[in-house]
């Protein structure tokens, strides 16, 4: 059976953020919401050790499309809003979602540990669109950005005929290209692109080829061969979720 997954080569990743920008553009995610950028392609920046013996790495994070997905088990509706596809993607059906956030609470990857400044950082593995708020609040603002010099965000959308004005108008049977309020949203590995023979936007945009997408159960796929060659690791293996996002090699050879 097919099991789509992603290999992230940390020796190739330079932390440039091209994947996050591509994801945001492709999937029309909000600029900011409650202080979060809602990049489904997010990052953990880590510095370890004591100077001068220190190491740094940028760890890209996204939905792990777990084979044993807690978010699917926690979804209370039938048929489930969060479910697994035949090719191993953890998919979300917008129309069935009731906004209870049980999936978000069950996901061990949706909230990282408290940071050094004492604040909890929510990584955009599963994001929630607040009830009553527009999907893109910035673009509902009718105030001129520069008075008597420029138009407003709302005017720009009116002229473009889309919200956001750069909206990618993809079609998917389960997933709207701009999600409504009071539901969750997350990475679906750009399933709308896979259906037409294209790679996920983050993979295509990576300038160093650090992201490799493919069928992990196909021993002849590049992703499976890299995993076999380098071994690698997954996040929070002890949780038993069986993630399908794997990390290989290190930023530093030391």
Q: Report if residue 11 sits inside a domain.
A: yes
Look at residue 71 and tell me if it is in a domain. Answer: yes
111 part of a folded domain: yes
Q: What pLDDT was estimated at residue 175? A: 96
Select from 97, 86, 68 the least CA-distant residue to 174.
97
Please, which residues have CB within 8 angstroms of residue 46's CB and are 6 or more apart in sequence?
Answer: 56, 57, 58, 59
Residue 243 CB neighbour total at 10 angstroms = 23
Its domain, for residue 64, covers 4-248
Q: What is the pLDDT along the chain (254 residues), one digit of tens a residue?
A: 899 999 999 999 999 999 999 999 999 998 765 555 667 888 888 888 899 888 888 899 999 999 999 999 999 999 999 999 999 999 999 999 999 999 999 999 875 443 444 444 455 689 888 888 888 888 889 999 888 888 999 999 999 999 999 999 999 999 999 999 999 999 999 999 999 999 999 999 999 999 999 999 999 999 999 999 999 999 999 999 999 999 999 876 54
Specify the pLDDT at position 208: 96
99 neighbors 182 (Cβ within 8 angstroms): yes
Overall domain count for the chain: 1
Q: Which two tokens stand for residue 144?
A: 């001129």
Neighbour tally for 192: CB within 10 Å: 20
Tokens matching residue 242: 């069986």
Residue 231 tokens, joined: 């071994």
| Nearest alpha carbon to residue 176 among 159, 194, 188, 161 | 188
Residue 135 maps to a domain:
yes
Q: Which pLDDT score, from 0 to 100, does residue 113 have?
A: 44
What is the DSSP code string of the chain? ---EEEEEETTT-----HHHHHHHHHHT--S-BTTB---SSEEEEEEEEETTEEEEEEEEE-----TT-HHHHH--SSS-SEEE-TTS-EEE-TTT-----HHHHH-TTSSPPB-TTS-B---TTEEE--TTS-SSGGGG--S-SSTTTS--HHHHHHHHTSSSTT------SS--SS--SSSEEE--TTHHHHTTT---HHHHH-TT--EEEEETT-TTSHHHHHHHHH--B-TTGGG----SEEEES-SS--
Residue 138 lies in a domain: yes
At 237, which CATH number? 3.30.70.20
In a domain, 253, yes or no: no
On whether the CB atoms of residues 139 and 160 are closer than 8 A, the answer is no
* Structure-token match 């091209």, residue found: 18
C-beta of residue 139 within 8 angstroms of C-beta of residue 157: yes
- Contact call for residues 152 and 160 (beta carbons, < 8 A): no
Position 118 scores a pLDDT of: 46
Residue 133 confidence (pLDDT): 81
The label of the residue with tokens 């999907």 reads 135
pLDDT of residue 244: 98
Length of the chain: 254
pLDDT in tens, 93-129: 999 999 999 999 999 987 544 344 444 445 568 988 8
């Amino acid at each position: 059976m097919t099991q789509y997954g992603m290999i992230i080569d940390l020796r190739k990743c330079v932390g440039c953020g091209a994947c996050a920008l591509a994801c945001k553009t492709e999937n029309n995610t909000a600029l900011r919401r409650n202080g979060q950028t809602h990049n489904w392609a997010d990052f953990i920046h880590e510095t370890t050790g004591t100077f001068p013996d220190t190491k740094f790495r940028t760890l890209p994070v996204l939905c792990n499309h777990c084979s044993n997905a807690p978010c699917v088990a926690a979804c209370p509706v039938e048929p489930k809003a969060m479910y697994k596809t035949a090719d191993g993607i953890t998919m979300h059906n917008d129309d069935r979602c009731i906004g209870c956030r049980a999936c978000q609470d069950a996901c061990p990857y949706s909230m990282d540990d408290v940071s050094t400044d004492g604040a909890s950082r929510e990584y955009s593995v599963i994001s929630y669109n607040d009830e009553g708020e527009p999907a893109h609040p910035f673009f509902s603002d009718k105030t001129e950005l520069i008075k008597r010099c420029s138009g407003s965000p709302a005017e720009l959308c009116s002229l473009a005929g889309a919200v956001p004005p750069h909206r990618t108008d993809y079609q998917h049977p389960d997933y709207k290209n701009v999600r409504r309020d009071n539901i969750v949203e997350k990475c679906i590995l750009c399933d709308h692109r896979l259906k037409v023979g294209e790679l996920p936007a983050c993979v295509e945009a990576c300038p160093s080829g650090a992201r490799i997408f493919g069928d992990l159960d196909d021993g002849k796929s590049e992703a499976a061969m890299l995993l076999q060659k380098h071994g690698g690791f997954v996040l929070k293996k002890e949780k038993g979720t069986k993630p399908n996002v794997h990390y290989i090699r290190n930023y530093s050879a030391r």
